[in-house]
Amino acid sequence: MAARGSAVACRLRPLAGFAVATAGAQNFLGARWVPALLAVTPAGRRPAVALRLLAWSPHYFQPGEHDRHAVAERIRHTRQVLADEVLGRYLHADDDVLDVGCGPGYLAAAVAPRVHSVTAVDVSRGALACARVLNPAPNLDYLTVDEFIRGGRDVDVVYSVAVVQHLTDEVFAHALRGWHAALRPGGRLLAHVVVDDPRWQTEAQWRAERELAGRLKRRFALNCFGRSADQVRRLVTAAGFGELDLVAVASFVDVDDDVAGQHLLVARRLDVAAASVATPSRGLTVPVQATPVEPFDLEPFDLEPIGPAPANTDPTR
Ligand SMILES: C[S@@+](CC[C@H](N)C(=O)[O-])C[C@H]1O[C@@H](n2cnc3c(N)ncnc32)[C@H](O)[C@@H]1O
């Protein structure tokens, strides 16, 4: 009985942590106390506490993954491989780069030695606080999206991995315009995307979902939307990008991560459409999601950016 009780407690503990650390849809570890806790933790204990916090978030750890150190090492390894074998093909040593949806920063830290600077942004202040502890680098800044916008920086490359699938078309379109505005003329977009995979429900299918589990997943943005390659191309082109290519990640690398079976969207900022799509906030903030409000949808979505596409492009500027 005691063993059963402790097994149940084991299962519930991450859920409890998740609930108290969440500041809204998509914003896992966004609660104010998360960065505050790390700030008062003695420096030597911070990495362990940051990892424990991350283990609550379904964005970074899967249910049932109990050895958080092993999971962290796996993430570090897969992000290093993605930086070296995938993103690295499109990056130059003098690039200033924006990492959108950086989470705990493993990917940003792997990219940093390859480029001039990395600005890594996320909607979650808690994820950013963990990233500063776990993955610092001299040329790497962790900022909220709002801080990035206020700073007025522009960059040569925007990349985003494991984020776009969480965004509705409306939010993705808005994010793309923000990325376009953040890029210097001719700047490059590298966005990991999931396309043409029948195992992934579309946004319309998610919206039609009446089961509580499905609705809760959507409420907390645990849903992942599948899209067709055409749909992705249309959205990216409409935001002012051209020279699109959709590359299978597997054509570059075999890595122990879902991303390996998916695609990288490569595109370049065109300047013709830029003026008509950029907003005063540089498009990076996202309006309240204009979807029907359901009983438990008490808060607006608080999201912003993403993007990717296909293969074997010429990675030169
Ligand atoms: C699955 S994690 C990916 C982390 C990292 N990119 C990686 O591949 O290791 C997704 C991250 O995207 C962030 N996110 C979700 N929507 C976002 C948005 N609209 N703007 C910025 N970050 C966002 C989440 O807070 C989360 O940290």
Cα of 79 vs centre of ligand 1, distance in Å, is 14
**0.75 exceeded by the pTM?**
yes
Nearest CA residue ID for atom 16, ligand 1: 303
Secondary structure in 3-state letters for 139-207: CEEEEEHHHHHHHCCCEEEEEECCCHHHCCHHHHHHHHHHHHHHEEEEEEEEEEECECCCCCCCHHHHH
Nearest CA residue ID for atom 5, ligand 1: 102
Ligand 1 pocket mutation pick from 163, 166, 284 by most atoms within 8 angstroms of CB: 163
How many angstroms from the chain centroid is the CA of residue 22? Answer: 16
Cα of 2 vs centre of ligand 1, distance in Å, is 38
For residue 175, the ligand 1 atom closest to its alpha carbon is 19
Cα of 221 vs centre of ligand 1, distance in Å, is 11
Secondary structure in 3-state letters for 217-283: HHHCCCCCCCECHHHHHHHHHHCCEEEEEEEEHHHCCCCCCHHHHCEEEEEEECCCCHHHHCCCCCC
Token digits for 279? 């907003």
* Structural domains in the chain, sorted by start: 2-54 (no CATH), 68-277 (3.40.50.150)
Cα of 315 vs centre of ligand 1, distance in Å, is 25
Q: Are 130 and 53 in contact (CB under 8 A)?
A: yes
Ligand 1 pocket mutation pick from 74, 81, 123, 255 by most atoms within 8 angstroms of CB: 123
How many angstroms from the chain centroid is the CA of residue 266? Answer: 16
For residue 27, the ligand 1 atom closest to its alpha carbon is 25
| Closest to 25 (Cα-Cα) out of 210, 308, 294, 307 | 294
Cα of 4 vs centre of ligand 1, distance in Å, is 35
Q: Are 50 and 134 in contact (CB under 8 A)?
A: yes
Q: Are 116 and 96 in contact (CB under 8 A)?
A: yes
Please give the pLDDT value at position 16. Answer: 52
Instruction: For 221-234, give one letter per residue: b (16+ CB within 10 A) or e.
Output: bbbbbbbebebbbe
| Tens place of pLDDT per residue across the chain (317 aa) | 444 545 544 444 444 554 555 555 567 788 889 999 999 999 999 999 999 999 887 777 776 677 889 999 999 999 999 999 999 999 999 999 999 999 999 999 999 999 999 999 998 999 999 999 999 999 999 999 989 989 999 999 999 999 999 898 999 999 999 999 999 999 999 999 999 988 888 888 888 877 777 777 666 666 788 899 999 999 999 999 999 999 999 999 988 888 989 999 999 999 854 444 333 334 343 332 323 222 222 222 333 333 333 333 333 33
Angle 49-54-57 from CA coordinates, rounded to 5°: 145
Please give the pLDDT value at position 30. Answer: 82
Cα of 144 vs centre of ligand 1, distance in Å, is 11
Cα of 113 vs centre of ligand 1, distance in Å, is 21
- Write out residues with Cβ below 6 Å of ligand 1: 26, 59, 79, 100-103, 106-107, 121-124, 127, 145, 161-163, 166, 303-305
Amino acid at 1: M
Nearest CA residue ID for atom 19, ligand 1: 304
φ/ψ of 45, rounded to 5, equals -95, -15
